Structure 1
Amino acid sequence: MKFVPTSFFPPVALDLTKRIPMYRQLYEWFRDAIVSGQLRPGQRVPSTRALAAELNISRVPVLNAYEQLQAEGYLQTLVGSGTTISESVPDHATRPTTTARKSDVRPKSANRISRIGTEALSTPPQVWLDSLGPFRSSLPALEHFPNRIWSKLVSRHLSVPSRQLMAYGDPMGYMPFREAIAEYLGAARAVRCDPREVMVVTGSQQGLQLCAKVLFNPGDPIWMEDPGYPGAHQAFSSAGVRMIPIPVDHEGILVKEGLRRCPAANGAYLTPSHQYPTGSTMSASRRVEILQWAAKSGSWIIEDDYDSEFRFESRPIGALQGLDTRSSVIYLGTFSKVLFPALRLGYVVVPPRLVQAFSAVRDAADIFSSTLYQVVLTDFIREGHFARHLRRMRTLYMERRSVLVDAIHSQLGGMLEVIGAEAGMHLVALLPPGIDDRQVARQAAQDGISAMPLSMCQLTKQARGGLILGYGGTDTTEIQDGVRKLRASLDKLAK
């Protein structure tokens, strides 16, 4: 039997003003706690001496209560293990009673929840996220992460942790880490920034939420790529920002359509280097158009550069932020996809005039990110491990992408059309018109496949649905098997 330490024992409630004897109160408290599951089978209970001392009462009522509980089968005493909750509670104790507890009675006027909470309750379950099966989007190749090197770096700082490592941190982040990020972004992404303009966040999702709070008021309009990143939809919707869906094509967001639909929008959310989810890259002419619009209208551009490190057909495209001369672009990135999601570290590069506002809003949210991981990742970058890992992953993902594309063409060529396979860690497989991609995703989830439906990314209903197939965290053997299972799922729905 597994024993639970007595240090986790819940506080015992006694009312010394009642006429009910103390031993009886103790007996009833223990019985109710056992029946309700608050105390679990095998859990140790305090000794009579320890409980009496804790309650500041005589040991006699505790002894009497324990004896009664043992006699009725609620407690058991094992040699060398002390007194524990019985493995089997008496049958009569678990029988339902006809008297409703006060907590079960619904009040005449139920407590209300917010619009955000109501929308969350009405969202259908995303069963394709219930497992880490083949094709889970945004999942990197975790088995290839250099755990040994990472563990050594963690141990280096935990063996004798500094006061700075264990105390409160700067809402903007650990300065040496911000310096390393700024150096990396300048060299690899042509981002122009000073380390003081870099804010460390717990992933790009928090960066989006901060942008929504700092840059917009409820009701303000913002251009959103359609289809686009669902996490951005959630961040801006929860802040009450009015999302204006703007179509995308092979050159990125249609700026002229944005000007037609809402020329005075307060901002635009973009994934220009690798459009999520279609995979297109914003052309040079579109980049000039969107920057000219932002400069003329005084609007903000939020650039989400979520996986630009992985480009296979050509060299990585420079960031839109590097072309911005009016400080209109807020640049977001994350380490979740290039390292591992549980790291929960990302960054936001903000214009100088926004640094104080972002810092204050971040401080009110969760103060700062884990200093330990910031310190460790600083060493990981400075010592060259990060660059080496990126090179290995770029080669690995190129191979996995090629295997997936070939498998789809050979096994599902007449059923799926592949788009957006030139970069990143996922591709989109379009379904024939009229097929419900959410129904396909649900069936695939039952067959062990974690494929997100394309419609989850759409703000407006579009002619064709599809599946977002991640290949970063799926090896070549799993890819081949996953495509076969996906074919079986489609065949089931066709019957």
Structure 2
Amino acid sequence: MSKTAVTGSLLSLEIDRAAVGTLCRQLLEQLRAAIDSGRLPAGSRLPSTRVVADELGVSRNTVIQAFDALSAEGYLESRVGAGTFVADQRRLAPSSVAAGPQPAAAGRAYPFRSLSRRGRSLVASSTDEFAERPRSFMPDVPDLREFPIKTWLRLLGETSGRLTGEILADTSNAGYEPLRRALAQHLSASRGMCCDYRQVIITTGSQQSLDLTCRMLVDPGDPVWLEEPGYLGARSVIRANGGVVCPVPVDDEGICVEGAEVTHPVPSLIYVSPARQYPLGMTLSVPRREALLRYARASGAWVIEDDYDYEFRYQGHSPQAVHGMDKDSRTIHIGTFSKILLPSFRLGYMVVPPDLSEAFGKARAIVDRHASLIEQMVLSEFMHRGLLVSHIRRMRGLYRARQLHLIAGLQSLLGQALPLAGTDTGMHLTLPLAPEAGDVALTRRAAQLGITLRPLTPYYATRQRRQGLLLGFAAFNNSELDLGLQKLAPMKADLARLLQRQP
């Protein structure tokens, strides 16, 4: 009868007492095979001989003999006071050990294996163009050093002491109720939205909110209007859910819905970022908001309002959210905390029409039940104590100062007549370039100089693309911005020439 054990190193071993050969030989061969195959990589710490013996139900001497034999072969090494570890197999002669683990799929054909149509669409819709590490001018990154970590940890300690089984059992699929109440109150005050907390659903961020909305409201083949240029993440989610992206141009007042009425099919959804259009940065004007809602009412389309970067407005006042103007409840409002607090802080929210709240809550449960409860509880305290509003105000002042510093630096480098866009709001500037600029090539050249510029053209779904560069400033202090400008200096002549040709 065989006995299987999962050791302290999470390695499965099996001893068959009816098999031919000693128990020591079985253990030795299984450990050797695990090391050769890479299941036990170099540096792995093995459990003690006593633990292995207890789990397998064999004598400790049997395990010691197997370990000693593998040590003699060079597979294991003992470190005084630390234990037994898998040796680096590269030090062994080629004849004594295999060359190393190979990928399971390398050179192997698997019959009858294919992704579903939805799976293929999901893979095809993925975007990984901008996987850069944070460095000078990288857009969309907050200053992680300014996060109030001590306050957050103190609230975490206070909150974790109140975490009970009853709270765990009673938490709604739509999220932690005190946080939903805090959000409803916050949005009513800051965005002019009159919403009940039952309309608020906590998600892991804007991407999940978009995905859930598309799952609920888009059938395969349905047209979905998307700003052009527009957010790549939205384009990916729409396509992954079977929607057909219909790009709608934007101008200085935002999305041009009235023109699209003539040229585009009637959509199931219209995705907009009214507070700050991404990536160009303009705010959707009030007449355009009214036109959007009139069209949604007449056509039966739903509006997804991505409230991106509304917190960081540096001039004028924030207009009322489209959701707050919508008398027909056709708007799904989504937001995230990743830009306000930390990118790794995976909490967002959506506000859905009252008659859809129950359906969205049930669908949320199927997707992944609910977001991290302890983080929801801490954020709830953070909001109820007024700390979130205080943090936003502080970061708004800090980012505005950095934006002005970057603008002055660019003017000094490239000349005063800079055609900058998106200066009223947000965490990045958009620098328009001439049609022949080649923004992708420019960003590659900048990367060689140690800075991260982001090209504008990938945000377009059509071939009629404006050239430009996105420069982030929020995550970098003035000294770091100055250093980035120094690194940009070798491109000064080319950039100035391209800017001068911009009409």
The normalised TM-score by structure 2 is 0.89
Q: Alpha-carbon deviation of 1:191? A: 1.0
Q: Decide whether aligned partners of structure 1 residues 368 and 33 sit closer, same or farther in structure 2, where only a CA change above 3 A counts.
A: same
SS at match of 1:156: helix
Q: Deviations over 1:216-272 (max 9, x none)?
A: 111110111000111111111110101110100011111122101225211210011
Aligned to 2:108: 106
Distance (whole Å) between structure 1 residues aligned to residue 191 and residue 183 of structure 2: 11
Q: Decide whether aligned partners of structure 1 residues 444 and 116 sit closer, same or farther in structure 2, where only a CA change above 3 A counts.
A: farther
**Kept in 2: contact 1:137–1:426 (CA 8 A):** yes
Distance (whole Å) between structure 2 residues aligned to residue 479 and residue 86 of structure 1: 46
Q: Deviations over 1:373-398 (max 9, x none)?
A: 11111111111211111111111111
- Higher normalized contact order (CA 8 Å, seq sep 6+, divided by chain length): 1
* Aligned match for 1:138, one of 134, 137, 140: 140
Aligned to 2:299: 297
SS at match of 1:342: coil
Aligned to 2:434: 432
SS at match of 1:395: helix
SS at match of 1:182: helix
Distance (whole Å) between structure 2 residues aligned to residue 54 and residue 268 of structure 1: 59
Q: Does 1:339 align with 2:350?
A: no
1:41-440 counterparts in 2 under 5 A? 41-59=42-60, 61-86=62-87, 89-92=91-94, 93-96=96-99, 104=106, 106-107=108-109, 109=111, 111-114=113-116, 118=120, 126=128, 128-159=130-161, 161-164=163-166, 166-167=168-169, 169-413=171-415, 417-440=419-442
Q: Percent identity?
A: 38
Distance (whole Å) between structure 2 residues aligned to residue 431 and residue 66 of structure 1: 67
Aligned to 1:10: 11
One-letter amino acid matched to 2:172? D
Aligned to 1:488: 490
Q: Decide whether aligned partners of structure 1 residues 24 and 416 sit closer, same or farther in structure 2, where only a CA change above 3 A counts.
A: farther
SS at match of 1:7: coil
Q: Alpha-carbon deviation of 1:402? A: 0.9
One-letter amino acid matched to 1:72? E
Q: Decide whether aligned partners of structure 1 residues 154 and 247 sit closer, same or farther in structure 2, where only a CA change above 3 A counts.
A: same
Q: Alpha-carbon deviation of 1:107? A: 2.4
**Kept in 2: contact 1:455–1:461 (CA 8 A):** no
One-letter amino acid matched to 1:340? L
Q: Deviations over 1:91-122 (max 9, x none)?
A: 2344539x999865512637223456656767
Q: Alpha-carbon deviation of 1:492? A: 8.7
Distance (whole Å) between structure 2 residues aligned to residue 201 and residue 286 of structure 1: 29
**Kept in 2: contact 1:308–1:317 (CA 8 A):** no
Q: Alpha-carbon deviation of 1:315? A: 0.9
Distance (whole Å) between structure 1 residues aligned to residue 318 and residue 413 of structure 2: 31
Distance (whole Å) between structure 2 residues aligned to residue 209 and residue 102 of structure 1: 32
Q: Decide whether aligned partners of structure 1 residues 482 and 270 sit closer, same or farther in structure 2, where only a CA change above 3 A counts.
A: same
**Kept in 1: contact 2:9–2:46 (CA 8 A):** no
Q: Decide whether aligned partners of structure 1 residues 60 and 278 sit closer, same or farther in structure 2, where only a CA change above 3 A counts.
A: same
Q: Decide whether aligned partners of structure 1 residues 118 and 169 sit closer, same or farther in structure 2, where only a CA change above 3 A counts.
A: same
Q: Alpha-carbon deviation of 1:327? A: 0.5
Q: Alpha-carbon deviation of 1:128? A: 4.5
SS at match of 1:341: coil
**Kept in 1: contact 2:457–2:468 (CA 8 A):** yes
Worse overlay, 451-460 or 180-189: 451-460
Distance (whole Å) between structure 2 residues aligned to residue 384 and residue 462 of structure 1: 46
Q: Decide whether aligned partners of structure 1 residues 82 and 203 sit closer, same or farther in structure 2, where only a CA change above 3 A counts.
A: closer
Distance (whole Å) between structure 1 residues aligned to residue 204 and residue 321 of structure 2: 21
Q: Decide whether aligned partners of structure 1 residues 466 and 126 sit closer, same or farther in structure 2, where only a CA change above 3 A counts.
A: farther
Matched residues, number: 488
Q: Decide whether aligned partners of structure 1 residues 480 and 102 sit closer, same or farther in structure 2, where only a CA change above 3 A counts.
A: closer
One-letter amino acid matched to 2:99? P
Aligned to 1:32: 33
Worse overlay, 12-21 or 304-313: 12-21
Distance (whole Å) between structure 1 residues aligned to residue 399 and residue 19 of structure 2: 70
Distance (whole Å) between structure 1 residues aligned to residue 237 and residue 305 of structure 2: 14
Distance (whole Å) between structure 2 residues aligned to residue 251 and residue 190 of structure 1: 20
Q: Decide whether aligned partners of structure 1 residues 175 and 82 sit closer, same or farther in structure 2, where only a CA change above 3 A counts.
A: closer
Distance (whole Å) between structure 1 residues aligned to residue 315 and residue 435 of structure 2: 29
RMSD, aligned α-carbons: 2.8
**Kept in 2: contact 1:220–1:266 (CA 8 A):** yes
**Kept in 2: contact 1:127–1:445 (CA 8 A):** no
Aligned to 1:3: none
Worse overlay, 227-236 or 45-54: 45-54
Q: Alpha-carbon deviation of 1:80? A: 3.5
**Kept in 2: contact 1:447–1:489 (CA 8 A):** no
Distance (whole Å) between structure 1 residues aligned to residue 195 and residue 368 of structure 2: 24
Worse overlay, 205-214 or 466-475: 466-475
SS at match of 2:430: strand
**Kept in 1: contact 2:122–2:239 (CA 8 A):** no
Q: Alpha-carbon deviation of 1:182? A: 0.7
Q: Alpha-carbon deviation of 1:411? A: 1.1
Worse overlay, 367-376 or 24-33: 24-33
